[in-house]
Amino acid sequence: MLENADAVAQFAADFFVQQVNRKPNAVLGLATGSTPLGTYRKLIEAYQAGRVSFKSVTTFNLDEYFGLEPTHEQSYRRFMRESLFEHIDVDPKKTHVPLGSVQDVESETAAYEAAIEAAGGIDVQLLGIGTDGHIAFNEPGSSFASRTRLKTLTRRTRKDNARFFGSIDLVPKMALTMGIGTILEAKQLLLLACGEGKADAIARSVEGPVSAICPGSALQLHPRAIVVLDKGAAKGLAQLEYYADCEANLNEVAKV
């Protein structure tokens, strides 16, 4: 648990910088929405300061709204370009976002899976979490074995995202998304959450039963999943004191 959202963003950015400096051709899984914006701003700052280069990096985004052209003001391709890609030295040809305007969904999703495999798999996958526990656009009830596919969005998700569109009626009803099975194949997972509005979803994901009704609980099955929270998002955790002790002990071990 960290003090605030800025500290969460700094931790995540430092984590990615260390990964890329250790492996310049790293394959990074990226996310959209309000949560990772702070991380992207700090990655831009790190690049501008000469602390990291992304010129050999390959990226894969989690999802895209179905039916939106890449140039649409609310498309995730445009979000990533404006929030990160055009501000760093990443090769645009190595940045991948599902094509929401595609006609042949099965071919697009199969090609996306094949591209991830051809790149050697994702080294670090960045994740946010919805208030209902969804990760990417894997809504409650999603199979833990699911792959990249077309998924219907719940009304709750569409309501949560209506602030970006101005009205729930303008929010697409479906999206192309990596499946939970795809996400769990990443070598490392880094989930970020900030604010009390995410506290219930985090508590159910971290301490609740592993269940399809809370897709975030799938992270309990991953051997290298890191959950980075501010105080608000951590508020619902029953064993918060124990987690703090674990973190302190790991830091002490690292100094030896």
- Residues annotated as catalytic are 63, 132, 134, 139
- The one-letter amino acid at 74: Q
Beta bridge partners of 89: none
| Start-end of H helices in the chain | 5-22, 37-48, 76-83, 105-118, 155-165, 180-184, 199-207, 240-255
Neighbours of 248 (CB within 10 A): 10
Residue-by-residue DSSP string for 19-72: HHHH-TT-EEEE--SSTTHHHHHHHHHHHHTTS---TT-EEEESEEETT--TTS
User: Token digits for 114?
Assistant: 């094949």
Q: Are strands 95-96 and 58-61 parallel, antiparallel or unpaired?
A: parallel
